[in-house]
Every structure is written in C-alpha cells, then in structure tokens.
Amino acid sequence: MAEPVPGISAIPDESNARYFHVVVAGPEGSPFEGGVFKLELFLPEEYPMSAPKVRFMTKIYHPNIDKLGRICLDILKDKWSPALQIRTVLLSIQALLSAPNPDDPLANDVAEQWKINEGEAIKTAREWTRLYAMSG
Amino acid sequence: MDSDDDFVASEDDSGNESNTGEDEDGLNVALIDSEPTGSSHVDGNDRMEIEEEFPYEILTTEQIVQHMIDCIKEVNTVVQLPPTITRILLNHFKWDKEKLYERYYDGDRKMLFSEAHIIDPSETTSQKEIKKYLHNGMENCVICCRDLPTSMLTSLACGHRFCRDCWVNYLTTKIMEEGMGNKISCAAHGCDILVDDQTVMTLITEPKVKLKYQHLITNSFVECNRLLRWCPKPECSHAVKVQYVDFQPIKCDCGTVFCFLCGENWHQPVKCDLLKKWRKKCDDDSETSNWIAANTKECPRCNVTIEKDGGCNHMVCKNQNCKTDFCWVCLGPWEPHGSSWYSCNRYDEDEAKAARDAQEKSRAALQRYLFYCNRYMNHMQSLKFENKLYASIKEKMEEMQQHNMSWIEVQFLKKAVDVLCQCRQTLMYTYVFAYYLLKTNQSIIFEDNQRDLESATEKLSEYLERDITQDNIVDIKQRVQDKYRYCESRRRVLLQHVQEGYDKDLWEYTVKLDKV
C-alpha cells in the first residue's frame, strides 16, 4: 500500500465497503486553506472500469463544484482510466481546489464572478470556507 | 447480421467471399435498370433519358466487411504497414486513401502517426523502454494490483502493461457499455494510443462482445466513408456503395428508395438543403411564434404577450404589476384618445405604422407558409391512403381475373397505382421547392407544370378510387392507361424542367443557401 497522503483521508463505511467517507483539507495558499471538506466517494459495480462517484458534502464556493457538490473533473468523466486509483482521484480533487478553472465551469454564477472579479470571488470562497468548513 | 466472421483481424481466412460479381442470390449487385425501354417505364429514375446511369451496389453486412478488408489490403500493398494500423489510419482519413497517401508520403510521418493516435510501427519493439513493475519474478498489474507471471500481462505498442483479465474487462466495458469501437484508447491514464482490432480480437473471447465490436467497426466504416450510406429503413442492414457522390435515388434491396446525399426518402425535385430547412421549419415551433406574431401584440409597457378577446380597443394590461392602459390599434397610451375612439389621431404616426407593417408582413408570411404546408401535408396524407388503395386494387384485379380477364390484362391497375404514388410523392416535394422559390419566368413555368401534373394526378386518383366496375372495365382500362401515361409524362417534364433550372442556375430562392 502506498503511504497516506497528508491532508486526505478515506474511510470505508461500516455497512458498505464500496462507500467511503472522505475528508480533504483545503490546500495551503488557496482560499480554502484551513477548511476541512467532507466528501462521499462511491465505487460503482463496474469500478475500476468506470470512474468512482465523488461528491462534496461540505458547501464550497468553487467554479467547478456546484450547489449539490458535484464535481467537474475530466478524470471523473471521459478521461477516466482504470489505472487511476482512489488515491489519485482524491489528489486531483485537492489539486482542483488549488487551481480553480472558471473556463470550464459547473457552477456558472461562481465562474462568472471568478472571471469578472477574482479578488471578490476569492473573498467569498474564504468566507464560505470559514462558515461551512471550519465549524466541526 | 448474424455472421460477420470474416473480419479485419482474421483476414487471412476470409478469401472465400468475393465482393463483386459472383453473389449467390444475384440480388446484391443492383444497378438501376437503365435499359432503353425508355420513356414509358419511369422507374424512379427520371433522368436516365438525358443523362448517364448512376451506378451503385447494394451491399450486405458481410459484403461491407469484405469491402473494408479489400480497402485495407489495397492500401497495404502501397504503404506496407500491419493491416490493423492501416485500418486506424484509414479511419483517421475517413477512408479516403488518396488523402492518406498524400500525408504518408509528403508530410511529417511522425506527426501523422501521433495525430492518428498510433505508435509509429518503425520505431517500436524497443522492449527495454517498457516499464515493468517486477516483484521477485512476478509482475504487478496496476489496475487490479495483483502480482502475476509476466506472461499474463500485455500491452499495446505504447507499452502500458496490464493483465489480460483487466484488459478484457476494460474492452468489454468500452464496447458493451459505452458503445465505443474505433476510438478505444489505451487503459493507462493520459495515453491516447488507440486499441487495434488484432488486440481486441485476440483478447476478447465472448462471441456477443466480438460481434458488437465488429458491428461498431463496420458502422464507423460506413458512416465515415463518403461513398457509402446505410439504408435508412430501421430494420434493414444493407448499405449502398456508389462510385461518386451525387444527388441520386437509391433503391435498396428491401424496397426503400432514398436519396444518396441525405438518406431521406427520395425527394426530387427539391434538393436536400431546402428539404432540411423545410423539415426544420415544420418540426420546430417557429410557426407557433409566427402565429403569435400575427395574432397577438405586446403590451407597450411590460411587453407581455396579449390576445384581444373583446371588441373594445381600450386595452388594460392584465399583468398585475403593469395594468397599463393603451390603444390596441396604435399601441399608444389610451389617455389622449379621450372618450371618442374615432379621434385616434396617433393612427398615422410612423412608429405605429412600422409596428403594423411588421404585423402585416408576419401575417402574410404565415399565410404563405400555411398555403404550401397544407398542400404538402395533403399529398403526404393521400400517399398514406394509397397504400390502402393497393389492397383494394389487388382485390379488384383478382375479381377481374375470375371474369375472363388474364393476369397480364389486369396488371395496368397496379401500374396505375405505382404511377399515382410516384406523382403524389413528386407533387409533395414540389410544394417544398415552390415555397422557397422566388417568382421568376421560370418559376411560373414550374407552377404551370405543377398544376398540370396535379390535376392529372387527381383525375387518376379518382378513376382508381371509385369508377371501376365490372361493366365499364374495358372503357375504363383505356382511360386509366391514357391517364397514367399522361401523368408519367407530365411528371417527367416537370422534373426535367427543374433539373434544367439547376443545371443552368435559373432558380432563385427566398432563403440563402450554403454553397454545396
């Protein structure tokens, strides 16, 4: 087994080994720094031939993550490869927090704000992180 | 579609079926019948008197596969690559071998291979570059994380090694779940090298998956190839192969007659682009909005759409947030109208006039569309009923044969219904053509032709629907024959005239067309 990644943990559910409780720490230097984000990860029947399903449970202000916590990330869609692992997927999600991509948006309003006034958007993201990702 | 055993990957044992000439049932090479029986036998091909025949072949699924193999072989004799690589390359160039040769011999070959997502076959087999995860003589598969004997793992030319089980699962998922055939890439993350047929056919053993893969490859071969087209009939698995692309009717072995260019029912005289515009116009609700434009107005203040439901021209907008008072006729505020409507002095103002003009125009456009649409729909509807006519005519023919007429003597009835259907179909599409036509001297001639054909067709229809009884049969036979011959000739004249217009560029349209 590979060594654990700092700031990421994935624990299988007691009743369902396909279901993982994931916690990702907001990366340093990003507006999500200091936040602790909960995600759920589910391995479908076809895994690893099809991608795991991942969703943010903690509210987050990010152009590639929508209100329901769904994530726009190529490796979770058409760029999925069975050679990828849960570990690499979660690392990619953590990287997405460091580098939001407003040109390929999922949450349009957030992406718009990110493009028009990045400073303001980052401020909002910090605010949301403080409000929703630091409580517990 | 049940035996596609001859396939690219196993092409060595496929020499038992030749693609042309010696078809067992003789049905597969169906050149359009162009014998000089000429004018009285118009068989869906009206241009044969004035132009050369349009050669084509109807292919079965097996023949399509064979044709694909032949294409690959032909190119291979020139480029000398493994056949599976040739197929991917040909697919990349949409089966245009000339383009392939051009790029292969004139261009940057490295670039060509990378664009087509292939490893250049001349630079592979350097096994040392391939990364293996070895643990005491066992090799690790990074997908299932098992340590296995090296012989259990395999890779494409790119060298990303996975175990056979994982490959089989991966390919099966791609083929069965995602319906991918020629675009499956290596299972490694970020590697876009395409999986070749040989790999698929050796790894996959389940017949169902193999068959599906073959169908997907065959399908992409036909869809990409500009000289091939599937028969549009849903349950038909034939495709047509032409020698050059042209606006021509194709008669499939299943009986469907379709346009080679667009795959719709054969629709002479109107060409594909106009027909497509027409279909779109009929399908989407652009006409709904036309109706709204013609029959409603917008509140001048809040722009909500309103329909007048009473005689009074003093309108009060029902939008609770608006409630503006205005005049229906001039759309100006109601206030200056005072108590007496007839002093509406804003009536002639430019703005109000422009608004009314726009409304008139849209109303006229709607009328015009409905005129053509009604006639188009009407012929379409009649055409559907003519199928019932075939049944009743068949009965009549049997009845007549019982009353001392020979089989050959009653065939004129079937022929008459055939002609009737052809004429209806042509007429149907003439209304699409006419809708888009700008008025010119030629368009007037066209409309005269259309009128003649339509009235003759209606007469023929009437004869066939009611007038035939036992007593008048001899007389009516003569009349029916005369009439359908007349219809045939009118139809031919109309189509020839339209064709002449195309050739000499005489037609002008109400819409802009993209140059084909």
For position A51, which CATH number holds? Answer: 3.10.110.10
The DSSP element (H or E) to which B83 belongs, if any, is helix B83-92
Q: How far is B390 from chain A (nearest CA, A)?
A: 52
Write down the pLDDT at residue B311.
65
State the best of B140, B141, B143, B161 to mutate against chain A, taking most chain A CBs within 10 Å. Answer: B143
> What is the C-alpha separation between A90 and A92, in angstroms, rounded?
5
User: Would you call B166 and A88 a contact, using CB atoms and an 8 Å cutoff?
Assistant: no
Q: Give the DSSP per-residue string, B322-380.
A: T--EEETTT-SBSGGGTT-GGG-GGGG-HHHHHHHHHHHHHHHHHHHHHHHHHHHHHHH
> What is the C-alpha separation between A88 and B101, in angstroms, rounded?
42
The domain that contains B358 carries what CATH number? 1.20.120.1750
Q: How many domains does chain B have?
A: 2
> What is the C-alpha separation between A79 and B94, in angstroms, rounded?
24
Q: Is A5 on the interface with B (CB under 8 A)?
A: no
Residue B395: count other Cβ atoms within 10 Å of its Cβ. Answer: 9
Q: Is A75 on the interface with B (CB under 8 A)?
A: yes
**Whether pLDDT at A13 is above 90:** yes
Q: Is A48 on the interface with B (CB under 8 A)?
A: yes
Q: Is A86 on the interface with B (CB under 8 A)?
A: no
Asked if the structure places residue B151 within a domain, the reply is: yes
User: Virtual CA dihedral for B355, B359, B364, B369, nearest 10 degrees?
Assistant: 130
Asked if the structure places residue B243 within a domain, the reply is: no
Q: Could you tell me which residues come within 8 angstroms of residue A119 by beta carbon, excluding any fewer than 6 positions away?
A: none
Kindly indicate the confidence band of residue A10, based on its pLDDT and cuts at 50, 70 and 90.
very high
Tell me the CB-side half-sphere exposure of residue B12, using CA atoms within 13 A.
Answer: 2
Whether ipTM > 0.85 holds is: no
Residue A12 pairs with which residues in a beta bridge? A20
Nearest to B187 among A50, A81, A88 (CB): A81
Q: Is A45 on the interface with B (CB under 8 A)?
A: no
Q: What is the tens place of the pLDDT at every residue in B2-16?
A: 444 444 444 444 444
Q: In what order do the strands lie in the sheet with B228-230?
A: B56-59, B239-242, B228-230
Tell me the CB-side half-sphere exposure of residue A21, using CA atoms within 13 A.
Answer: 7
Write down the pLDDT at residue B287.
63
Asked if the structure places residue B1 within a domain, the reply is: no
Chain A residue with Cα closest to B162: A83
Same domain, B355 and B445: yes
Q: How many domains does chain A have?
A: 1
Q: Return the DSSP state at A65.
A: B
Write down the pLDDT at residue B168.
95
Asked if the structure places residue A119 within a domain, the reply is: yes
Asked if the structure places residue B236 within a domain, the reply is: no
Contact list in B for residue A75 (CB cut-off 8 A) is 189
Contact list in B for residue A82 (CB cut-off 8 A) is 143, 162, 166, 169-170, 187
Q: Give the DSSP per-residue string, B423-464.
A: HHHHHHHHHHHHHHBPP-HHHHHHHHHHHHHHHHHHHHHHII
Write down the pLDDT at residue A30.
93
Last residue of a domain, one of B202, B226, B250: B226
Domain containing residue B423: 288-504
pTM for this model (two decimals) = 0.66
Tell me the CB-side half-sphere exposure of residue B439, using CA atoms within 13 A.
Answer: 0
Q: Of these residues, A72, A76, A93, A121, which one is catalytic?
A: A72
> What is the C-alpha separation between B279 and A23, in angstroms, rounded?
54
Nearest to B170 among A75, A82, A88 (CB): A82
User: Would you call B189 and A75 a contact, using CB atoms and an 8 Å cutoff?
Assistant: yes
Q: Could you tell me which residues come within 8 angstroms of residue B30 by beta carbon, excluding any fewer than 6 positions away?
A: B56, B57, B58, B251, B253
Residue B424: count other Cβ atoms within 10 Å of its Cβ. Answer: 24
Contact list in A for residue B191 (CB cut-off 8 A) is 81
Same domain, B110 and B198: yes
Asked if the structure places residue B333 within a domain, the reply is: yes
Asked if the structure places residue B172 within a domain, the reply is: yes
Q: What is the tens place of the pLDDT at every residue in B301-329?
A: 777 777 776 667 777 877 777 778 877 77
User: Would you call B162 and A83 a contact, using CB atoms and an 8 Å cutoff?
Assistant: yes
User: Would you call A83 and B143 a contact, using CB atoms and an 8 Å cutoff?
Assistant: yes
User: Would you call A48 and B143 a contact, using CB atoms and an 8 Å cutoff?
Assistant: yes
Nearest to A46 among B162, B173, B188 (CB): B173
Write down the pLDDT at residue B285.
59
Catalytic residues of B, by residue number, are 312
Q: Could you tell me which residues come within 8 angstroms of residue B79 by beta carbon, excluding any fewer than 6 positions away?
A: B86, B89, B100, B101, B104
User: Would you call B170 and A50 a contact, using CB atoms and an 8 Å cutoff?
Assistant: no
Same domain, B37 and B162: yes
A50-79 average pLDDT score: 90
- From A19-28, A31-40, B273-282, B338-347, the region with the lowest mean pLDDT: B338-347
Same domain, B200 and B292: no
Same domain, B166 and B305: no
Asked if the structure places residue B448 within a domain, the reply is: yes
Nearest to A81 among B172, B177, B189 (CB): B189
State the best of A76, A80, A81 to mutate against chain B, taking most chain B CBs within 10 Å. Answer: A81
Q: Is B175 on the interface with A (CB under 8 A)?
A: no
Chain A residue with Cα closest to B169: A49
Asked if the structure places residue A125 within a domain, the reply is: yes
> What is the C-alpha separation between A132 and B326, in angstroms, rounded?
53
User: Would you call A81 and B188 a contact, using CB atoms and an 8 Å cutoff?
Assistant: yes
User: What residue type is assigned to position B430 of the chain?
Assistant: T
Contact list in A for residue B187 (CB cut-off 8 A) is 81-83
Q: Give the DSSP per-residue string, B33-71.
A: P--TTGGG---S-TTTTTS----EEEE-HHHHHHHHHHH
The domain that contains B195 carries what CATH number? 3.30.40.10
Domain containing residue A102: 8-133
Last residue of a domain, one of B178, B205, B226: B226
Write down the pLDDT at residue B47.
41
Distances (CA, A) of B482 to B304, B475, B477: 60, 11, 8
Same domain, B81 and B198: yes
Same domain, B185 and B325: no
Q: Could you tell me which residues come within 8 angstroms of residue B86 by beta carbon, excluding any fewer than 6 positions away?
A: B72, B75, B76, B79
Residue B151: count other Cβ atoms within 10 Å of its Cβ. Answer: 8
Asked if the structure places residue A3 within a domain, the reply is: no
Ranges of chain B whose pLDDT falls below 70: 1-52, 124-131, 284-287, 289-290, 292-294, 309-311, 336-352, 355, 466-471, 514-516
Last residue of a domain, one of B226, B243, B263: B226
Q: Is B173 on the interface with A (CB under 8 A)?
A: yes
Asked if the structure places residue B235 within a domain, the reply is: no
B314 three-class SS: strand
> What is the C-alpha separation between B116 and B108, in angstroms, rounded?
12
Write down the pLDDT at residue A105.
76
The alpha-helical segments, DSSP class H, found in B107-242 are: 109-115, 164-172, 197-203, 207-224
Asked if the structure places residue A103 within a domain, the reply is: yes
Chain A residue with Cα closest to B175: A49
